Amino acid sequence: MTSYDIVIVGGGPAGLAAAVSAKKAGTDSILIIERDKELGGILNQCIHNGFGLHTFKEELTGPEYAYRFIQQVYDLGIEYKLDTMVMDISTEKVVTAMNRTDGMFQIKAGAVILAMGCRERPRGALNIPGYRPAGIYSAGTAQRLVNMEGYMPGREVVILGSGDIGLIMARRMTFEGAIVKVVAELMPFSGGLKRNIVQCLDDYGIPLKLSHTVVDIEGKERVSAVTIAEVGPDMKPIPGTEERYTCDTLLLSTGLIPENELSRNAGVSINPVTNGPVVNEILETSIPGVFACGNVLHVHDLVDYVSEEATRAGENAAKYVQNGCKDQDGGKIIQLKATDGARYTVPCTINPERMDDLLTVRFRVGAVFKDSYVSVYFDDERVMHKKKRIMAPGEMEQVILQKKKIDEKPDLKTITIKIEAE
Amino acid sequence: MEKRNLTCIGCPMGCQITVEFEGEEVFSVTGNTCAIGDKYARQEVTHPERTVTSTVVVVGGAKERTSVKTNANIPKDKIFQCMEEINQVRAQAPLKIGDVVIKGVCGTDVDVVVTKNCEIA
């Protein structure tokens, strides 16, 4: 069995940034395993611009952003395997993978970084009534077809869900001559970024219907029409509000699910809110030496934050192997909790002895909050109270915790993040 | 005098802004809650601009097509004309990020450049 100090599962933005930072932190034996035929992950099909404003202070397209990291992987001589699928990760960190040239093989890893990303919620998970003809695609599949393979999925399009990929594809297919008739969103607010709603829908007069869902799909061989209807507060369609759109294509942009089959099989604890691993302050999962970062951990809206998070995972994995793969544990564990409108936190626990001077805690809210406060409680004492003009489920929030403030409270057990009206 | 309603893209607030203007002259901007909205609204009604991203056909490349972008914003009303020019392009591999495939698209001084490397087949 071959062995590497660090094996990184996934060569997308998270895996690339983790590899680069681990290498720069002094660990040389690193292998990235990527199932696609090239590095870069989902960024390769995200040809629109707007990436990298935080990281590089300029607006790049997805492929350009990816290449900034791919170039570093080349320059640093980091090893990678393409067209290779990881089949299993054991609790002992033996990675089983396969490809056409090597067949099935196993690698013993000192540390593993999970960077598998996420996948789209499929039609089967949505319970949409109607026929099952050709012409129903997840928005990301359509994006790959149009931007990488050079095929148009259809000419007359209805989109269900207002996630960013769906919005981006509304514009993209309009550019390529398709007519996008409507975007229906089940929730009373969009899951996408404001700028995408304006620049992908409003710019081209594409209506966004909030609190609407698909109630029928017609067509036996190919989609011929889609009917949408308004939903009430109970999320059930309201009779009499149906509108029928003739179309040949239905795109689904209804959410992303972290891809954690490998993590689960390895025995990693999963947070039921994020569907990603439970991690501590160093982004380590419930299995010592197995780290997670990027969309496999929780779905991000900006790749810049993925790179930043993955950079920390890479550094921490390097530190772990340089310490002889021993958990430098000891010390107490503080729980992080999200309540009152805050849905989850990443990380879930903090060991103050291991935390950096500043720790970014990311979270999402469960509804739209205007003129509300993000509050942080150390047990029962409120230590942070910050007004935000707007918070929405589609935009990730963060608070920054200071080690010295935590060290002042030796008996601290729980840190709670909540949203308060005043 | 023309009146237009816009959604500000400056932040997630998405203020509903109303602009009163005529030609290049803006008379009033209302509904915004900060200076970003004012600036956005004025730009948007007088000189709206966008970056266009798409793909071009590659000849002799390891891939059939590669991605491109305008290397600066172009006037919004030239987007579809820009797409037509992009769709005419047959770019010869190899291509590197930044290679110009259209010089001065739609009579502007903006170029269309490659955003993803493409090796020879």
Tell me what pLDDT residue B41 has: 93
Residue A379 pLDDT > 70, yes or no?
yes
pLDDT at A193 over 90: no
Query: In whole numbers, what is the pLDDT of chain A averaged over residues?
Result: 95
Tell which phi-psi region holds residue A320, choosing left (phi > 0), alpha (psi between -120 and 50) or beta.
alpha
Q: What is the CA radius of gyration of chain B?
A: 19
Spell A357-389 as b/e; 16+ CB within 10 A means b: eebebbbbbeebbeebbbbbbbeeeebbeeeee
Contact criterion met (CB below 8 Å) for A175 and A377: no
Stretch (H or E) spanning B31: none
> What's the rounded mean pLDDT across residues A142-160?
96
Burial class (CB in 10 A: 0-12, 13-18, 19+), A227: middle
Confidence of residue A329 (pLDDT cuts 50, 70, 90): low
Amino acid identity of A237? P
Its pTM surpasses 0.90: yes
pLDDT at A328 exceeding the cut of 70: no
At A330, is the pLDDT very low, low, confident or very high (cuts 50, 70, 90)? low
Q: What is the mean pLDDT of residues A386-408?
A: 91
Contact A43, B53 (CB under 8 A): no
ipTM: 0.89
Least trusted range by pLDDT, from A100-114, A180-194, A247-261, B102-116: A180-194
pLDDT at A327: 66
Cβ(A168)–Cβ(A138) below 8 Å: no
pLDDT for A69 beyond 80: yes
The Cα–Cα gap between A54 and A360 comes to 15
**Phi then psi dihedrals of residue A361, to 5 deg:** -105, 120
pLDDT of residue A234: 94
Q: Are A41 and A10 in contact (CB under 8 A)?
A: yes
Exposure of A255 in the CB half-sphere (CA atoms within 13 A)? 13
> What is the total residue count of chain A?
422
- CA distances (Å), origin B72, targets A145, A324, B42: 26, 50, 19
Closest Cα partner for A29 from A37, A38, A14, A19? A19
Query: What pLDDT, on a 0 to 100 scale, did the predictor assign at position A222?
Result: 97
Instruction: Give the tens place of pLDDT for each residue, A201-246.
Output: 999 999 999 999 999 999 999 999 999 999 999 999 999 999 999 9
- Chain-chain contact of B12 with A392 (C-beta, under 8 angstroms): yes
* Lowest-confidence pick of A7-16, A275-284, A324-333, A393-402: A324-333
- Spatial distance between the Cα atoms of A233 and A63, rounded to a whole number of angstroms: 41
DSSP letter, residue A260 = -
Q: Let me know: does A42 contact A148? Beta carbons within 8 Å.
A: no
Long-range contacts at B32-35 (CB < 8 A, ≥ 24 apart): B32/B8, B33/A389, B34/B10
pLDDT along chain B (121 residues), means of 10: 88 84 92 90 92 96 95 95 97 97 96 97 87
Do A47 and B97 lie within an 8 Å CB cutoff?
A: no
To the nearest whole percent, how much of chain A has pLDDT over 90? 86
Residue type, B61: G
Could you tell me which residues are beta bridge partners of residue A370?
Answer: A390
Both tokens of A189, joined, read 């607010």
With beta carbons less than 8 A apart as the criterion, state whether A364 and A382 touch.
no
- Which of A49, A198, A202 lies nearest to residue B53, judging by beta carbons? A49
Mean of pLDDT values over A4-20? 98
Q: What is the pLDDT of residue B9?
A: 84
Residues of B whose CB is below 8 A from A394: 12
Contact A150 B64 (CB under 8 A): yes
CA B83 to chain centre: 11
For chain A, the residues whose C-beta falls within 8 A of a C-beta of chain B are 44, 47-49, 59-61, 63-64, 67, 146-150, 175-176, 193-195, 197-199, 202-203, 389-392, 394-395
Residue A81 scores a pLDDT above 70 = yes
